[in-house]
Amino acid sequence: MHPKALLDHCAELIAQILTFEHPADATVARYSREQRALGSRDRPLLADAAYALLRDKPLIEWLLKQRPADVVQPAPKGPKGQPRPTAKARALALLALRRDAEFLAQAATPEEQDWLAACRELEANPPPDQPAACRHGLPDWLAERLREQVGEGFEALARALRESAPLDLRVNLLKAKRPAVLKQLADAGLQAEPTPYSPLGVRLAGKPSLQKLPLYLDGSIEVQDEGSQLLALLLDARRNETVADFCAGAGGKTLAIGAAMRNTGRLYAFDTSAHRLEGLQPRLKRSGLSCVHPMAIAHERDERLSRLLGKMDRVLVDAPCSGLGTLRRSPDLKWRSDAGGIAEIAALQARILESAARLVKPGGRLVYATCSLLREENEAVADAFTAMQRDFVALPVAELLERAGIEQSAGLVQGGYLRLWPHLHASDGFFAAVWQRKP
């Protein structure tokens, strides 16, 4: 597609995303499906522009105020199906793409290029009164809470959260070993290396398409962030056990747990969304797992769970959360969340954890996890559970990580809990607490 037309598509997509009616990834996917004229090289540029805007939203909006885009004009009426974004949407798209000089040389008018040069100069030499949000890229309420939690590490954390996340894979040990996978990836022309912590992980350079890769098609690899892999390792599910992934979603951790069980025993994948569980089916087929039993439940106290009370060897509760540990992948979450909603989420997490704990048999293991950075969703929930549930004893996470073959495990533990930070561990932000039910 011609760059000028593609710029209009960028502007139209950005306008739709900024309504925040739907998650950004869903909006990008829908737009790409609907606009059939977009080519395979066009879609990544659209997505990159959208996510760049969401990461730098305070800075971009500030630049637009400081350097009004009078030279930017709305797109003229074009062919049927071609978007006609407003001048503001076009200006936002230009700023989101301001570092792509090659593309803008073809897409922007000379006047727009001069305007962008002035914006880049202002960005490089900001005045002393520039709002702090332009530097950290976070809403004020979230910046305040994270600064309280990490202190001097806040600036490094904020920088990491504005970066794009790497593409991590998990090796399915039912079908392959990591050294063999690394060799096959190299033979396919892909740059890959072992993840620093997970013994099952592989980290790819860039964002290559995997859908036609033999390793992906035969289920030898699955896309899964390294931090998420560590949660399954903490659960340490064994052969012939009865295990539950209480908030399974699309089943990434379910697949990892099933492989650890060597496709034996019985693994329940519970979720309140039947639609999300449907996404697990093709992944199960590729993985070779037959021990998984997906079950959609109405809520955490669904009566159908009563027959399983006290019968589970292990239960993982990867609870619904704000998702603020995944801002490198989903930067729209920081603009879709607010301080008031965090308390509601934490209350739901406590209820889910309490209900899931009822399934654990004496001597069994319970893992609570989130992909949030906030103490309210993590330590506060875990500490309250420990105080109230006298028949559960907290387990030493550092020792569990060492037993799972995780190197440098001491650096992953804070206050007795697993704590992963994007700026320290190059993973998504994750938290996990582990308990054993008294025999």
**In sequence order, what are the residues at sequence separation of 6 or more whose Cβ sits closer than 8 angstroms to the Cβ of residue 169?**
181, 192, 201, 202, 203, 204, 221, 222, 223, 224
The residue behind tokens 């239960």 is 315
Cα→Cα distances 320→157, 198, 280, Å: 23, 23, 18
How many other CB atoms are there within 10 angstroms of residue 208's CB atom? 14
Calculate Rg over the CA atoms of the chain.
23
Q: Are 14 and 53 in contact (CB under 8 A)?
A: yes
Report the alpha-carbon distance of residue 161 to residue 154 in Å, rounded: 10
Cα gap 183→199, rounded to integer Å: 16
**Continuous segment of H or E residues that includes residue 135:** helix 133-136
Of 10, 291, 321, 371, the active-site residue reads 371
Q: Are strands 413-414 and 417-420 parallel, antiparallel or unpaired?
A: antiparallel
CB atoms within 10 A of CB 423: 17
**Residue 321 falls in the annotated catalytic set:** no
Q: Which amino acid is at 244?
A: A
Catalytic residue numbers, as ranges: 371
